[in-house]
């Protein structure tokens, strides 16, 4: 799916919601384990059916499939097949795999997710540099979504590193020129490896104080924004700071939707939670005349 198609989908569905498919073995509804032949796929399928009216994108996290080995990978293959052939499609499918390796190896990962499975996008870790990202940019209408600043506490370990001297001077009341943080350098440099037609960035909602700056730095690219809901990010605030002239954001919610209930009505409750978010998004889109 290319950028124009994704933007059109957002306008048509009145939603920029991405549903994270994280079928945690410890949180799957108990009744599924007994009855379903393939509980991972059954869970994913029912979540998709219940939420597809309200979501433009889905993001299975590979770890929850990989923990079951090749059998889990079969469930992942079934899930992406189901997604890409859904009668209520199209939807934008993101493999949240956070891969990253040197050139020829990265190419195999790209082929795994773009050719063997028909994902539209894959999350990629940029730490190893350009030759680990560019192989993902060679596929028509496919996307690499680079980790910019992530939503977890550990994001503060390295991603925000910046030279210590200006911070010291600031503490002493001496104004200095602005020195960039690591994630800003990463985003600014890596955005030139591709275009806004084949690259997005992960920008965690938990850093909402940085969001306006980040949007100034990277005006045109889509942001995939996790951290709304269970992790505490506020939707209106995020949209106000991060939207661009083509909407330009996908907001991911996982746990607040897929674990809205652990009973037999889990899909019904997931649908309600997704609808509530979509209605908020619709209001935001209207306010901004999309």
Catalog residues that contact a second copy under the rule CB under 8 A: 22, 24-25, 61, 63-64, 66-74, 76-77, 96, 98-106, 108-109, 111-112, 116-117, 125-133, 147, 150-159, 161, 163-165, 179, 182, 185-186, 189-190
Residue number, 149 or 281, with CB nearest to a second copy: 149
Residue number, 147 or 281, with CB nearest to a second copy: 147
Q: Which of 230, 281, 55, 242 is nearest to 148 (CA)?
A: 242
Q: What angle do CA 94, 217, 223 make, to 5 degrees?
A: 15
Catalytic one of 13, 30, 88, 98:
98
Catalytic site residue 241?
no
CB of 104 to a second copy, least distance (A): 7
Q: Which of 160, 147, 276 is nearest to 209 (CA)?
A: 160
How far is Cα 116 from Cα 97, in angstroms, rounded to an integer? Answer: 15
Residue 43: both structure tokens together: 């869970």
CA atoms within 13 A on the CB side of 184: 17
Query: What is the helix (H) or strand (E) element at residue 145, kind and residue range?
Result: strand 143-149
Residue number, 135 or 248, with CB nearest to a second copy: 135
Residue 41: both structure tokens together: 């796929």
Q: Which of 52, 54, 31 is nearest to 43 (CA)?
A: 31
Residue number, 55 or 186, with CB nearest to a second copy: 186
CB of 26 to a second copy, least distance (A): 9
Give the torsion through C-alpha atoms of 242, 202, 217, 168, to 10 deg.
Answer: 110
Paired sense of beta strands 57-60 and 17-21, if any: parallel
Residue number, 186 or 238, with CB nearest to a second copy: 186
How far is Cα 63 from Cα 125, in angstroms, rounded to an integer? Answer: 15
- Cα-only R_g, the chain: 19
Residue number, 8 or 161, with CB nearest to a second copy: 161
CB of 233 to a second copy, least distance (A): 14
How far is Cα 187 from Cα 201, in angstroms, rounded to an integer? Answer: 8
Residues 6+ positions from 28 with CB-CB distance below 8 Å: 39, 40, 43
Catalytic residues: 98
């Amino acid at each position: 799916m290319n950028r124009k198609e994704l933007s059109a989908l957002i306008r048509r569905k009145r939603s920029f919601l991405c549903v994270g498919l994280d079928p945690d073995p410890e949180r799957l509804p108990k009744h599924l384990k007994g009855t379903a032949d393939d509980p991972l796929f059954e869970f994913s399928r029912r979540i998709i059916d219940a939420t597809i009216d309200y979501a433009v994108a889905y993001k299975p996290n590979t770890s929850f499939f990989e923990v079951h080995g090749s059998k889990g990978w079969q469930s992942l293959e079934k899930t992406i097949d189901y997604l890409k052939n859904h009668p209520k499609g199209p939807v934008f499918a993101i493999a949240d795999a956070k891969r990253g390796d040197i050139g020829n190896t990265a190419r195999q990962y790209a082929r795994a997710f773009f050719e063997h499975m028909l994902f539209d996008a894959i999350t990629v870790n940029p730490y190893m540099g350009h030759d680990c990202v560019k192989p993902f940019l060679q596929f028509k209408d496919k996307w690499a979504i680079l980790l910019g600043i992530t939503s977890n506490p550990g994001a503060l370990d390295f991603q925000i590193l910046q030279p210590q001297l200006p911070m010291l001077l600031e503490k002493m009341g001496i104004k200095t020129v602005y020195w960039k943080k690591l994630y800003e350098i990463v985003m600014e440099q890596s955005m030139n490896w591709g275009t806004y037609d084949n690259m997005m960035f992960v920008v965690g909602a938990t850093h909402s104080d940085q969001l306006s700056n980040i949007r100034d730095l990277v005006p045109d690219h889509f942001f995939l924004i996790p951290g709304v809901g269970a992790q505490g990010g506020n939707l209106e605030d995020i949209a106000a700071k991060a939207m661009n002239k083509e909407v330009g954001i996908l907001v991911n919610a996982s746990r607040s939707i897929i674990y809205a209930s652990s009973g037999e009505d889990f899909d019904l409750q997931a649908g309600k939670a997704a609808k509530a978010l979509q209605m908020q998004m619709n209001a935001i889109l209207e306010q901004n005349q999309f």
